[in-house]
Structure 1
């Protein structure tokens, strides 16, 4: 199929492995969220909040949803004790959403096995192998970003 559209395209083990990785990566958030009793939006919100507190509008932008939808996500996370609304540190008129220890534990506990497996896979590579893998993955990322 792809070869008929892109004549230079030839399937290979590395391209098949990359496709499998992309497919699995798309399924992971749904499965992790299901196991945690969260929606995918709630899971992604916690992931974003791990990096830094955000205002509800910023969070909506990151999630690609409306402010109203983001507010509902935040309400559910607050009700579960995974996030808190606080006055913004620099502008008391604004609110920011902050992940709680409960939210951090939820995310880290669910994702720790994956991070451990990735770290073990990376540690098994030589520096030269790691450089090749990095170059390949950055090229693949650039090819995908070209669609955005």
Structure 2
């Protein structure tokens, strides 16, 4: 394997450690942090969208949303286009707390790429885009495989 592929695998493992320690600092669990990350990335989501992205049942997602709302990490708001529906969005102060925690790491990582020449930056971007494409393709292949095997294979 190429050294870049080995380093990428190490980064994925390190990401698990980063998330573990972030959860501890924020006094939250894995699922709630995943939900917060999705909400921060998307801005807001319907409960159904959150259910799909978290790969949980509707009931389990409701429990996650209830915890986030109770801890003032997220809030329920009326959907702007359909007032019968709700959106879940991160509370700005909670998003700021998460960003304050991880921003030093993000800034340090960005400084590394900013220190590279434009050609080096382009090469890194091409590599990461290719890795992302490969991962999305792999997920699609696994989803197709699971669908072909039927419900018993998903347990």
Alignment partner of 1:35 is 2:25: yes
1:101 aligns with 2:92: yes
- Matched residues in 2 for 1:48 and 1:143: separation? 21
Alignment size in residue pairs: 138
Greater helix content: 2
**Structure 1 stretches of 4+ moved >4 Å:** none
User: Equivalents in 2 of 1:141, 1:101: separation in Å?
Assistant: 29
Q: CA deviation at 1:92?
A: 1.5
The alpha-carbon deviation at position 112 of structure 1 amounts to 0.7
Cα deviation for residue 145 of structure 1 reads: 2.5
Q: What's the counterpart of residue 111 of structure 1?
A: 102
State the Cα RMSD in Å.
1.5
2:10 is the counterpart of 1:20: yes
Matched residue SS, 1:44: helix
Larger deviation: 129-138 or 21-30?
Answer: 21-30
**Counterpart for residue 141 of structure 1:** 132
Cα distance, 1:46 vs structure 2: 1.5
Give the unaligned 5+ runs of structure 2: 140-155
Counterparts of 1:67-86 in structure 2 under 5 Å?
A: 67-86=58-77
**Unpaired segments ≥5 residues, structure 1:** 1-10
Counterpart of 2:38? 48
